[in-house]
Amino acid sequence: MQKIMQGETGEGIQVVSSRVMMADYFGGLLGFVGFSLFLLHQFGLSWTAYSSGLLNLIIALLVSFSRSVSVISRGACVLVVMLTGFLGYRLEELMKIGEQFLYRDKITWSEQTRFQKLVATKPQEGFDNGYDERRLRQYRKSFHVKDGFDVMSGSARVAEKKENLSLFINGGLQFNSKDEGVYHEHLVHGGFALNPEIESVLLMGAGDGLALREIFRHEEVKRVVLVELDPAMVDAFRTRPELVELNGGSLSDPRLEVIHQDAWKWAKEGKGFFDLIILDFPDPHHVQTAKLYTTQFYKLLGHHLRPDGVLVTQGTSPLYDRSGFWCIGKTLESAGFHTASLHVEMISFGQWGFHLATKKKRRIEMISMLEAWPLKTSLMYASGNSMRSGLSWGLEHDRVRAKVPVNDMTNLALMALYGKKE
């Protein structure tokens, strides 16, 4: 090998190998930086993968004409490049066909934004996607505080008439319109039950406008600031008719101010004080989301909360992510909050949980106020009865809560706990 290298290049194998490895490392670094910081955000996963493969084929074609390669091999290489080019011409159509196989229901809209992949689906005609209307009616019958509730009055009309539409973000279910009201009513209205004088609200995440729909049921609210990273998410739910129907046009309300910024950066640099802060972030799958459940982040938000204010956050599933759920609650307490933890039952996600936190009211007082349920707003799912049921926890949860660590920027313990029942 040494002699061959010496004869071909005039240099030793050590020199040639070092140059090859240096070029390989440099190319890998360039590819990683270009992929993660530019290509993926600008062109999406499918076009990035396609263009990378096509570039390699073109390089192979050029090399074939600069070397002593047979005519047949060159022709085959040209044919492959032409075929790949034709596939690129039909790539969007082919990707839609392939993408449909990933979803049970028909895709009605999909978009690769700079930050995420958004997909909306609806069942085929006559296909109900397994969502049992009887279970939803039973839920309302079990927990609704008012008999004979007029579901066709006010903004409740939107929630009752909406079609069965699902939204997926990066392949994960974000909500199904059949039962998203269970989630959003308990996310939002518990804060209003703990503070009857809420005029200003900070909402982080929730660019779909569904939590906003619930906030704007309260006429006393004068100002809402929505901090959402992805502008395309807000644009879609502000303009697409089927999505606007779901949120009742809440994203066009004049009381709303939308800020497209990273939540951590806004918490650190943003200005303003609020009576209610609602956090509707994705689950802590990775570092970027796990840091939004840390002691440091909650302390930053505490500086934006008025003395009698309430902070509410979604807390993942106490059923499928028991340790992670209680880790979030414990982390809030480490940031100086008193907490009351709540769970609800949903068809889409099974059991889901929330944490309500205040600086002044202790847990026993919060629980008492939630169970009394002073709200006069007519709701379809949230009530004093649902609160009494959701605020009750078994001894097993007490055991798990006692042993889980606090999620801190120095350890990001929540990432290791996420997805574990214990």
**Which segment of 34-48, 93-107, 230-244 scores lowest on mean pLDDT?**
34-48
Q: Take residue 243 and report the two structure tokens written for it.
A: 């999505």
Domain boundary among 39, 68, 95: 95
Strand 256-259 with 274-280, pairing: unpaired
Q: Evaluate whether residue 268 is within a structural domain.
A: yes
Q: Evaluate whether residue 104 is within a structural domain.
A: no
Residues 88 and 196 in one domain: no
Q: Which residue has the tokens 């039950």?
A: 193
d(CA 154, CA 378): 9
Q: Provide the percentage of residues in the chain whose pLDDT is more than 90.
A: 52
Residue 266 and residue 259 in contact, taking contact as beta carbons nearer than 8 Å = yes
The 10s digit of each residue's pLDDT in 267-298 is 999 999 999 999 999 998 888 899 999 999 99
Burial 170-180 (b: 16+ CB within 10 A, else e): eeeebbbbbbb
What is the residue-averaged pLDDT of the chain? 83
Q: Evaluate whether residue 88 is within a structural domain.
A: yes
CATH code assigned at 299: 3.40.50.150
Residues 253 and 382 in one domain: yes
What phi, psi does 203 have (nearest 5°)?
-120, 125
Tally of structural domains, the chain: 2
The 10s digit of each residue's pLDDT in 11-56 is 656 666 776 777 777 767 776 666 666 666 666 666 677 777 777 7
**Sheet of 274-280, strand order:** 256-259, 223-227, 200-205, 274-280, 305-314, 350-358, 338-346
What phi, psi does 72 have (nearest 5°)?
-60, -45
The alpha helices in 216-272, defined as continuous H runs, are 231-239, 241-247, 263-269
Residues 89 and 182 in one domain: no
Asked if the model's pLDDT at residue 235 lies above 90, the reply is: yes
Domain boundary among 76, 95, 114: 95
φ/ψ region of 177 (left if φ > 0, alpha if ψ in -120 to 50, else beta) reads alpha
Residues 257/263/266/268 CA torsion (nearest 10 deg):
150
Q: Evaluate whether residue 168 is within a structural domain.
A: no
pLDDT at 97: 75
In three-state secondary structure terms, 232 is helix
280 is catalytic: yes
pLDDT at 54: 75
Residues 321 and 226 in one domain: yes
Q: Evaluate whether residue 393 is within a structural domain.
A: yes
Residues 81 and 217 in one domain: no
Residue 404 and residue 330 in contact, taking contact as beta carbons nearer than 8 Å = yes
Residue 289 and residue 283 in contact, taking contact as beta carbons nearer than 8 Å = yes
Residues 218 and 328 in one domain: yes
d(CA 275, CA 191): 9
Q: Which residue has the tokens 């290791």?
A: 416
pLDDT at 53: 75
Q: Evaluate whether residue 145 is within a structural domain.
A: no
d(CA 352, CA 390): 10
Q: Evaluate whether residue 105 is within a structural domain.
A: no
Residue 176 and residue 149 in contact, taking contact as beta carbons nearer than 8 Å = no
Q: Return the higher-pLDDT residue of 20 and 168.
A: 168
**Taking the complete model, does pTM exceed 0.75, yes or no?**
yes
Residues 245 and 363 in one domain: yes
Domain boundary among 38, 68, 95: 95
pLDDT at 155: 38
Q: Evaluate whether residue 117 is within a structural domain.
A: no
Catalytic residue among 105, 208, 275, 280: 280
Domain that holds residue 251: 178-417
Of 300, 293, 296, 231, the C-alpha closest to 270 is 300
pLDDT tier for residue 104 given thresholds of 50, 70 and 90: confident
pLDDT at 32: 65
CB-side neighbour CA atoms (13 Å) of 394 = 4
Residues 63 and 186 in one domain: no
Residues 79 and 183 in one domain: no
Residues 183 and 89 in one domain: no
